Amino acid sequence: MIAFFGGDSIPCAKFALPGSQELSDNAVKALKKHKACLLANHGVIVTGSDLEEALFLAEELEV
């Protein structure tokens, strides 16, 4: 299942304050080669080529 997300693990972006540029930068770094990342103390971000793929991946990650 993890292979769906672009590797053998799901990266965790470093903590930063909500809405901050630092949080955005950390998420971009974590998503560089993956379709999902965990935001420390915030939640998860999932991407896809379209909404259907993103929803599928989000559901897979939660199961």
- Give tens-digit pLDDT for 30-56: 999 999 999 999 999 999 999 999 999
Residue 1 pLDDT greater than 70, yes or no: no
Residue 4 pLDDT greater than 80, yes or no: no
Domain spans of the chain, in order of start: 2-62
Cα 39 from Cα 14, distance rounded (Å): 7
Residue partners of 14: CB distance under 8 A and separation at least 6: 26, 40
State the pLDDT at residue 3: 63
Burial class (CB in 10 A: 0-12, 13-18, 19+), 54: middle
